[in-house]
Homo-oligomer: A and B are copies of this chain.
Amino acid sequence: MNNNSFAVTEPVARLIDEFSKLPGIGPKSAQRLTFYLIRMPYDQAQALAEAMLAVKERITFCQRCQNITEFNPCTICNNPRRDSSRICVVVEPLDALAIERTNAYKGLYHVLHGVISPMNNVGPSELRIAQLLDRIREEEVSEVILATNPSLEGEATAMYIHRLLGGLVPQVTRLARGLPAGGDLEYADDVTLTRALEGRQEF
């Protein structure tokens, strides 16, 4: 660099660097976000920074189900009206939220915080699987529902946990596969249709 040239100044370079550490944000997106932030009103940028710190200060993981929570143990684990003999194993906190919205499940949860994914360097030890096994040994559990996504990684994670649970728990189930409500049989993919046929039920 000679005297006439300039570089992106230090705070800008640092923010680009910090943004590009986030998942799914490459160097180009990090630059775009940084320049967007520079043009943003100060109080909007401050709101984002404060929301980040508020989450870090107020949100922890429930010691029992590993879900994110402001209270420990969380309001679900702490609710005496929930059926504590059932554990529904989900990948993300939002999966538990989706199941809660159905009002069809009254048991507890266990949040893995990810799926086994060798491509992304996520092995079983990165997930909250050890905590699940501890729970099953300590609590009286009659059923574990493996509610991972019906994707390759979700299935592989469920199979891995299923093998670990052998003999530890009376019943291990998983969510039914089949046609989605409101779906169109004509446009269903082969795997979905095969699963729907295999799992057909008495009318």
From A27-35, A141-149, A165-173, A189-197, the one touching the partner chain is A27-35
Task: Pick from B15, B58, B81: contact of A54, CB below 8 A.
Answer: B15
Tell me the dominant secondary structure on chain A's binding face: helix
Q: How many copies does the complex hold?
A: 2
Contacts of A70 in B (CB 8 A): 9, 11
Residues of A11-55 contacting chain B, CB below 8 A: 11-12, 14-15, 17-19, 21-24, 29, 31-40, 42, 44-55
By a CB distance below 8 angstroms, the chain B residues around A35 are: 68, 92-94, 113
Proximity bits, A96-121, B CB within 8 Å = 1, else 0:
01001101001000000100000000
The chain A residues found within 8 Å of chain B, CB to CB, are: 2-9, 11-12, 14-15, 17-19, 21-24, 29, 31-40, 42, 44-56, 58-59, 68-70, 74-76, 79, 81-82, 92-94, 97, 100-101, 103, 106, 113
